[in-house]
Structure 1
Amino acid sequence: MCSTNLSSFSNFSNTTCQLDPPHISIAVLLCLVLLLGLLLNIFSLWVFMRRIHQWKPGTILQFNLAISDVIICPLAPFLMVYFAQSEDWPFGSLMCRFKIALLTVHFYGSIFFLTLISVHRYISVVYHSKDSCMKQKNFVKKLCAGVWLVVLIKGGVCLSLLDVSTVNNHTLCLSIHQREYTEVYFVMNFILLILGFLAPFTVSLFCYICLAKSVSNINACHQKGKLIKSKSRKMVAVCMVIFGLCFLPMNVVRTVVVVVRKYFASNCKLFYQVETAYFASWILSSANCCLDPLIYCFSSQNFMKAIYRSLRTIRARIQKPQEDQEHISAPNTHITRSAGTGNKEIIQTLS
């Protein structure tokens, strides 16, 4: 398939297996995950643009990763409506193609930018004393532009090959039950699996293994050495969790799905099992937009400082009205007392 999509199953096109549509709780959980991801990444983008004034190559990569995470979040209400209507796509062919492209760009954009962050971290720590193109902002900007070009081409290919289908009076969008697209899903899944996941994952795994070995040799007696070790270990852990929890299950389960759809479509029990696994893995894959902000915190000290400055600013703005109110009420008391004292002096004078 061209992208990860919760709508890749429905219960209408298989002539032998009548599967129930997924429970509405799946859509609710998905929307909550995407909403949380939207809030976290919008805040991250705000910090990058307004609070970090000097961008480094790593900052540029993280900013682009945040953009790739944000673009999927507006799909949440469309998916909610889709499942509320028992997997009947009411938004037409154009919106279906737009959804396909957006999901593809998000999914593989996140993988590619996460891989580049892994390579950059590896070079920055292991070859910190040597010059590298990954340490040059202009080169990293061009690299990010290249990634966006690649994922946009992927999204364009997918939206050009796939469209809505009407099965049993239900309009399906990017569904494994669209029988006319069975061969397309099968072929494209393995192309995207190899080029879109296995290759980037292998590069990231190599970088993190080498990084872990290098970090273990850093002298932890100095404060700087302790900081580098701590940041690198946390970043390795988060990236491996994202790859292992979000991207790996989706690619594995999706591969099983297209194989079952092509060769074992009449096995209803097996089909139902892979359907359930696919729903679960898709929700996990959507959680990457919530986990990616942890990378910004662990890999960039400037990002953490910017967050602290933002929190202090917010706190100061909250406290300022209270202080102003106290300041306003204090002179009034002083004026009242002064007026009272003046009255006493006048009375004494008149006496």
Structure 2
Amino acid sequence: MNCTNVSSITNQTCSVDPQPVSISVLICLFLMLGFVLNIFSLWVFKYRTPEWKSGTFLQFHLAISDLILCPLAPFLTVYLSLGHWPFGHLMCRLKIVLLFIHFYGSIVFLTLISVHRYISVVYHSQEFRMKQKDFVKKLCVGVWAFVLINGVVCCLFLGTSTVGNHTLCFSIHQDQYTTVYFAFNFALLIPGFLIPFTILLVCYGRLARSVSSINIYHQKGKLMRSKSRKMMAVCLLIFVLCFAPIHVIQAVMVVVKKFYPGHYRLLLQLETSYYASWILCIANCCLDPLIYFFASNNFLATFRSSLRKIGVRFQTTREDNEHDSPQTTHVFPTPRVIKRKIIDS
């Protein structure tokens, strides 16, 4: 957007310019890669996982939420490249619904996977509803209902509008939606990001203390510690790198638009930063499959088998042959405890 004035009082308007082409290209590439990875993940869950556990259901639905955004790749690429939405009002609303379902569906399912991992490792010998498949199925239905309702409500209040000779869709420069953007942003910021992020930090903080007591001299314990730490690192990376920037920039942007609407140059910079944060946010479609590798040996084995069919081979180590299931993981006594028992005997 090229603004010729910094104040709306003079009745001068702004002309819309496209975003840098690099943003469009990277968004398209990440969506295409995410499409391939998540189609493969769904295929593994559907046809190569004979027995689904409670954690498998959560991973399956996370893959679906990542896949939902991929069909938008050509539409987003054209929109950002032209600075104009040529696909009509209905497609604009569909875009808003799919964006909300993807962003908040991925956040909630990722949080539930973290809670499930924490409960399975730390409270392996106790019964929790998160370990029951029927409860997890109902929980997944509830998550889809939550994100779908929020997406539909938002799209009913938002839509296309004309600025100059350009049609905009879900843009901060749609002046008639300024109050709506401001209200929706902070209404969804707490339940959609801050609460899930807090839950994830608490779960992984306690899980880190638990896995530190695992006996690394036992092969299964060593493998369990390694996988748990890798999974914690990936989940935290996704939240910090993919979801945090877009929420921070979006919050600043709606505040500036609401209370300082004349600062066009700042809004332009924030808008470009906002779309750049989309690149990081969409990258979670490519990072989420790493969680499936660390959570399921069957997924890793199927991935390696598929690569071997095209000539790529891996050297199988002893660790890969160890069975690691979150449902049957045990925390072993540390060497100090074992040594003390020997002395006492």
Determine if the TM-score, normalized by the shorter chain, exceeds 0.5.
yes
Find the partner of 1:78 among 68, 75, 78.
75
Partner of residue 224, structure 2 = 228
Residues 1-351 of structure 1 correspond to what in structure 2 (within 5 A)?
10=1, 15=12, 20-84=17-81, 86-312=82-308
- What RMSD, in angstroms, separates the aligned Cα atoms of the two structures? 1.8
Unmatched tracts of structure 2, length 5 or more: 313-345
Please give the alpha-carbon distance, in whole angstroms, between the structure 1 residues aligned to 2:75 and 2:153: 22
- Aligned-pair CA distance for 1:18: 5.7
What SS does the corresponding residue of 2:261 show, helix, strand or coil?
A: coil
What's the offset of the Cα at 1:273? 2.5
**Structure 1 counterpart of 2:197, one-letter code:** F
Which structure 1 residue ranges, 5 or more long, are not aligned? 1-9, 317-351
Cα offsets for 1:188-211 (capped at 9, x unmatched): 100110111001111111101010
Q: Deviations over 1:244-268 (max 9, x none)?
A: 0000011001000001111122123
Partner SS for 1:165: strand
Runs of 4+ aligned structure 1 residues displaced above 3 Å come to 10-20, 309-316
* Stretch deviating more after TM superposition (263-272 or 53-62): 263-272
- The 3-state SS of whatever aligns with 1:166 is strand
Task: Work out the CA distance in 2 between the residues paired with 1:163 and 1:267.
Answer: 24
Q: Deviations over 1:126-156 (max 9, x none)?
A: 0011111111111111111110010000111
| 2:272 partner amino acid | T
| 3-state SS, counterpart of residue 167 of structure 2 | strand
Give TM-score scaled by structure 2 length. 0.85
1:12 Cα offset (Å): 7.2
User: Which structure has the highest helix share of the two?
Assistant: 1
Q: 1:311 to 1:51 in 2, by over 3 A?
A: farther
Q: CA deviation at 1:80?
A: 1.7
Instruction: Give the drift of 1:19.
Output: 6.6
Letter in 2 for 1:308: R
- The alignment partner of 1:237 has SS state of helix
* Identity within the alignment, %: 63
SS at match of 2:229: helix
TM-score by length of 1: 0.83
SS in 1 for 2:170: coil
- Equivalent-residue separation in structure 1 for 2:243 and 2:113 (angstroms): 16
Contact 2:178–2:258 (Cα < 8 Å) also in 1: yes
Letter in 2 for 1:126: V
2:316 aligned partner: none
Counterpart-to-counterpart distance in 2, 1:114 and 1:296: 11
Q: Is the 8 A contact 1:17 1:268 kept in 2?
A: no
The answer to whether the Cα contact below 8 Å between 1:100 and 1:158 also exists between their aligned partners in 2 is yes
